[in-house]
Amino acid sequence: MKAIFLSCNQALYEEVLHEMKRLGVRGYTGWEEVEGCGMLTGDPHLGTNAWPTMNSALIAMVEEPKASEFLDAVRRIDAENEKLGIRAFWWEIGGTL
């Protein structure tokens, strides 16, 4: 099982949720408005007058092979929207209680 943390431009959040539903990925917690700035490229998303855009984020616990399918979908969304920004980070986790 993988814990997948995803942060994206707020404009992509609905598309991410759609892909999760399509793949049957359940069990997530989402935040629709978060601030952030990428490590290498992109503008800050701070919700201010100078930087008005915002990000959204979520964390999902996903079992294989759905985790790989979901990450592939995130890569596709990123390739199609490279100016908007989306990043996913994952780590292996144990089961649930």
Residue 91: pLDDT over 80? yes
Residues 3-25, mean pLDDT to the nearest whole number:
96
Report pLDDT digits (tens) over 30-87.
Answer: 999 999 887 777 777 888 888 888 999 999 999 999 999 999 999 999 999 988 889 9
Residue 22 token pair: 């399509």
CA distance 63 to 79: 24
| pTM of the model as a whole | 0.88
d(CA 77, CA 83): 11
Q: Does domain 2-92 have CATH number 3.40.50.2000?
A: no
pLDDT at 79: 96
d(CA 88, CA 66): 15
pLDDT value, residue 44:
78
